Chains A and B, each alone.
Chain A
Amino acid sequence: MRDVAIVGIGTTKFKSRWLDKTYYELAFDAAKMAFEDAGIDKDRVDSAVYGIYNDFFQRQYQPDAFVHDYLGLGLKPMVRVNSGGATGGAALRIGYQEVASGLQDVCLVLGVEKCADTYNYELQMATPEVLRAILYTADMTYDNPAGRTAASGFALAVVAHRDKYGNPTEEQMAKVSVKNHFNATKNPIAQSPKVLTVQDVLDSRMIVEPFKFYDNCLYTEGASAVILASKKVAESISDNPIWISGLGASVDYVMPGNRPNIYTFESSRLAAKKAYEMAGITNPVEELDLAELHDAFTGTEIMAYEDCFFCEEGHGGDLIDDGTVLPEGRLPVNLSGGLIGCGHAVGATGIMQTYEVCKHLRGEAGERQRLGARKGLVQSIGGTLCTWSICLVLER
């Protein structure tokens, strides 16, 4: 396999609605920024990988073909990836394969998502209809008719984890919410910058037990892109390449009854383990300078501390209590604000997380810069109780 570098990055703002852009217009904005950042013309790209999650959100099946056309990349090969919340990470993995295999030298990996064009006319809001569109990705025969949501699936896992290990507590989850909303105040692309107190989070209305309003990410529209290149090309066109030094993936049984338990996300543990092995990391808290974890919910961020081996299984809650994951801690988590603070534009999210880590490794993260950052982790997960998991280690 050949070494693969990220030589260009771009992202739109993450917003609750881009009323003035379609999905392919959002994709165009992110791609243009990434090409400009890389200092290359679009025609330098050999292939493209598009991470787009929900066809209802785009109001279009096979939306990848229309993105490809709009970007003017006709006749170049491309493929669309859809792996739930992990779509962005999964797209990066396919892009990595394109270049590492030697098949292509330069590959555009772009994630884009709309969502708030769906609408519930009676309630005059998008969210219940957004959730309805998502529920079509639950098993249609046995799961969808039960009316569960992505949040209730993850809530079931968090409750099971709490029953087994006594954490995450509601206070620990609230602290994660405070941290991520605050981190977002330093991120110019973030959707939900907010200065909250633990009490504000605890007092917010219940969504699905134990998640209150501020324990959840919001739905987001946006697009993010990176340009991947082989070592030879990277060294000829870039003076600040970021290397993908570790990559791990695992996909669990989507029917949780086929798993040994639901209080841990085995796919997430395996993805992290493989990524660390490839990158030669043995002590992630010491060796990583920052991590962007998939905090769709505060409780699952705490589970992710364990899944990414920042601590022993069952001790995730300790890391928010002792400050390890705070901006000034030993291993800051979600300096971007994460999904809770920056937003969750599903197909784009894993690529936004990658964009964020690249910003720090390049020393371009402004107010939120992790000083001297050399190595960072991206965790991208999704699907029913964390079916898909992808982890990437990035280095400068």
Chain B
Amino acid sequence: MNSAEREAWYRYQHEKYGIPVEHLRREFEEELSGKNPMDAPLEIPDKMEVVFKYSYGGQSRFFRELRENKALYGAQCPECGKVFCPPRSHCHTCYQPTQWKKLVGTGTVEACTVQHYTTSSFIKKVPFVCAYVKLDGTDSLLMTNMEVDDVAKVKVGTKVKAVYRELRLGAITDVYFKPLD
């Protein structure tokens, strides 16, 4: 490939995959300069992508309450009385439809750890606390990452409260938890 062809290749891949041109150049310069033998393994950029207009189905109210009313809801089984959060439309024990129950938004850390390394999507946030929280009035565990200045502040038994984001998207991340102090 001559230099004009290489630049066109970088531009096309950048537009298709959103990879900065300097990153592409760093990775593929040698290959595109024709320095590799014909039989050497050939790598190319690629991406698997699907776009959604996803329905929350029977859990829709949970996310609408979160987005519209800054409120957390659990789902209670009318038969055994268990309250689920994450909510579910049916109790898995009694097979009865659950009923919505407003929660106060406080809870207790049941298990926690600190992540110092993680996935591409979150790696800029480390270190952060990753915890299971039992919300007051519920009988299940909600996975959350906690925003705290000092990760050592969060321990098993720490009382936490829900904080709602300014821009709420209709996702579980519209709410996060802080130690109640």
Contacts and interface: CB of A to CB of B under 8 A. Distances in A.
Interface of A: 19-20, 56, 59, 117, 120-124, 128-129, 131-132, 134-135, 139, 141-143, 145-149, 152, 155-157, 159-160, 163, 205-210, 255-258, 262
B144 interface: yes
Contacts of A143: 143
A122 B111 contact: no
Contacts of A206: 114, 116
Contact of B20 (A121, A139, A152, A262): A121
A148 B120 contact: no
25 contacts: A121-B23, A121-B27, A123-B123, A124-B26, A128-B119, A128-B123, A131-B118, A132-B120, A139-B143, A142-B86, A146-B143, A146-B172, A147-B115, A148-B118, A149-B115, A156-B131, A156-B132, A157-B111, A159-B111, A207-B116, A207-B117, A208-B113, A209-B113, A255-B86, A257-B134
A56 B49 CA distance: 10
Contacts of B45: 121
B119 A256 contact: no
Contacts of B123: 123, 128
Contact of B125 (A20, A147, A210): A147
Given A123-B120, A145-B171, A208-B113, 9 more contacts: A121-B20, A121-B45, A131-B119, A132-B121, A147-B121, A148-B115, A148-B145, A208-B114, A255-B141
A121 B121 CA distance: 13
Interface residues of B, number: 47
Interface string B101-135: 00000000011111111111111010010111010
Pairs A-B, 5 closest by C-beta atoms: A257-B140, A257-B141, A147-B122, A131-B119, A132-B119
B35 interface: no
Interface centre among B118, B143, B145, B156 (most CB of A within 10 A): B143
Contacts of B171: 145
Given A120-B120, A148-B143, A258 B23 contact: no
A379 B23 CA distance: 42
A208 B128 CA distance: 10
A262 B113 CA distance: 14
Nearest to A155: B113
Contacts of A147: 115, 118-119, 121-122, 125, 128, 130, 145
A324 B56 CA distance: 51
B132 A256 contact: yes
Contact of B145 (A146, A155, A207): A146
Contact of A205 (B110, B116, B130, B139): B116
Given A121-B20, A142-B86, A56 B120 contact: no
Interface in B30-69: 41, 43, 45-46, 48, 56, 59
Interface centre among A120, A142, A262 (most CB of B within 10 A): A142
Interface centre among A19, A145, A157, A257 (most CB of B within 10 A): A257
Interface string B19-30: 110011011000
A160 B114 contact: no
Interface in B135-166: 139-145, 156
A20 B41 contact: yes
B122 to A, nearest CB: 4
Contacts of A210: 113
B173 interface: yes
B141 A19 contact: no
B119 A160 contact: no
A157 B141 CA distance: 13
Nearest to B27: A121
A20 B39 CA distance: 10
A128 B86 CA distance: 27
A303 to B, nearest CB: 14
Nearest to B173: A145
Contacts of B19: 121
A156 B155 CA distance: 12
Given A59-B48, A142-B143, A148-B145, A257 B119 contact: no
A162 to B, nearest CB: 10
Contact of A156 (B24, B41, B92, B112): B112
B142 A257 contact: yes
Given A147-B130, A148-B143, A141 B115 contact: no
Given A19-B41, A123-B123, A128-B120, A156 B113 contact: yes
B113 A257 contact: no
B111 A149 contact: no
A131 B140 contact: no
Contacts of B117: 149, 207-208
A370 B143 CA distance: 43
Contacts of A120: 120
Contacts of B59: 141
Contacts of A122: 20, 23
Contacts of A141: 56, 59, 86, 172
A148 B116 contact: no
Nearest to A56: B48
Contacts of B145: 146-148
